[in-house]
Amino acid sequence: MVAATIPQATAKRLPIYYRYLNILADSGKKRVSSTELAEAVKVDSATIRRDFSYFGALGKRGYGYDVESLLEFFKKTLNQDKLTNVALIGVGNLGHALLNFNFHKSNNVRISAAFDINEEITGTIQSGVPIYPMSDMKEQLTVQQIEVVILTVPSSVAQKVTDELTEVGVKGILNFTPLRITVPETVRVQNVDLTNELQTLVYFLDHFGPGK
Ligand code: NAD
């Protein structure tokens, strides 16, 4: 409920905070100040205090934040207790790399099924993940209760595949293709564009230097 009302920018920082708080907890640290956190996660301390205030976590002056209770909160908010299976559609160059990576550092999300039309790879297992033909998609997504997919097909077929995904009830698509896919309101899309990120980095370096 809290998660539904916090700004998207704040929501995006949650996993960063969570990862660092885990490191602190592992090293036996009981509390942390927003200044310490700011230095570690490279987010300024005013932003951290504002972010934390959205979750009702108010640090005490001179004490900081209690690591354990923050971790408990993040665990619940980020659903870290629950394993989410996701599927990958299109096992080419990028798809292979993502399968190989398979979110090793995350204990709550993993790619459990992949799909492709290439008969040379369907029926095989790559990086521990079975590759199914597209004709098995509906059945596998249903059986494995998968609602989120990673889309790494050529852009020429991205909309067609998206329509197929929508039809079988997918709720979220992480779209790596350059095509801005069209989906009904029941589906949420998150676009990943490395070119864009690189250009943004170059722009910031050119205009502001590495400092800001
Ligand atoms: P690729 O050609 O190596 O792989 C595409 C795979 O999709 C192939 O295995 C192919 O058999 C499969 N495929 C084709 N049609 C399909 C269909 N109808 N249903 C299911 N699978 C199908 O391409 P790639 O280099 O891995 O790139 C994949 C996509 O990712 C492209 O759209 C590319 O532009 C994009 N890309 C994005 C980024 C980024 O930063 N977002 C970076 C690199 C590539």
Distance separating alpha carbons of residues 136 and 81, to the nearest angstrom: 29
38 exposed, middle or buried (CB, 10 Å; 0-12, 13-18, 19+)? middle
Shared domain for 190 and 92, answered yes or no, is: yes
Give yes or no: residues 192 and 92 share one domain.
yes
- Quote the pTM value: 0.76
For strand 65-66 and strand 31-32, is the pairing parallel, antiparallel, or unpaired? antiparallel
Give the domain range for residue 39. Answer: 8-77
- Residue where a domain terminates, one of 55, 77, 99: 77
Domain at 190, CATH number: 3.40.50.720
Distance CA 194, CA 156 (A): 19
Scanning the chain, the segments in alpha helix (DSSP H) are: 2-5, 8-26, 34-41, 45-54, 67-77, 93-101, 137-143, 155-167, 194-208
Q: Is residue 181 part of a domain?
A: yes
For atom 14 of ligand 1, the residue with the nearest CA is: 153
The residue contributing the CA closest to ligand 1 atom 40 is: 194
Residue recorded with tokens 């597209």: 134
Query: Do 127 and 184 fall within a single domain?
Result: yes
CA dist 102 to 60, 83, 98, 110, 147, Å?
38, 13, 6, 6, 17
Shared domain for 109 and 63, answered yes or no, is: no
Cα–Cα distance list, 18 to 23, 50, 57, 86 (Å): 9, 16, 14, 21
Residue 2 lies in a domain: no
Cβ of residue 95 lying under 6 Å from some atom of ligand 1: yes
Same domain, 98 and 190: yes
Residues 107 and 35 placed together within one structural domain of the fold: no
Residues 42, 96 within the same domain: no
Residue 182 lies in a domain: yes
Q: What's the 26 CA to ligand 1 centre distance in angstroms?
A: 39
Give 106-162 as a DSSP string. Answer: -SSEEEEEEEES-TTTTTSEETTEEEEEGGGHHHHHHHTT--EEEE-S-HHHHHHHH
Q: What is the pLDDT along the chain (212 residues), one digit of tens a residue?
A: 344 567 888 888 888 898 899 999 999 999 998 889 999 899 998 999 888 888 776 667 777 888 988 888 888 777 666 778 999 999 999 999 999 998 876 667 899 999 999 999 999 999 999 999 999 999 999 989 999 999 999 999 999 999 999 999 999 999 999 999 999 999 999 999 998 889 988 988 888 888 65
Sheet holding 129-133, edge to edge: 125-126, 129-133, 109-116, 84-89, 148-151, 172-175, 188-191
Domain membership flag for residue 31: yes
Domain contains 209: no
Residue nearest to atom 8 of ligand 1 (CA): 92
Tokens read off for 33:
């100040």
Q: Which residues pair with 32 in a beta bridge?
A: 65
Q: Note whether residue 1 is domain-resident.
A: no
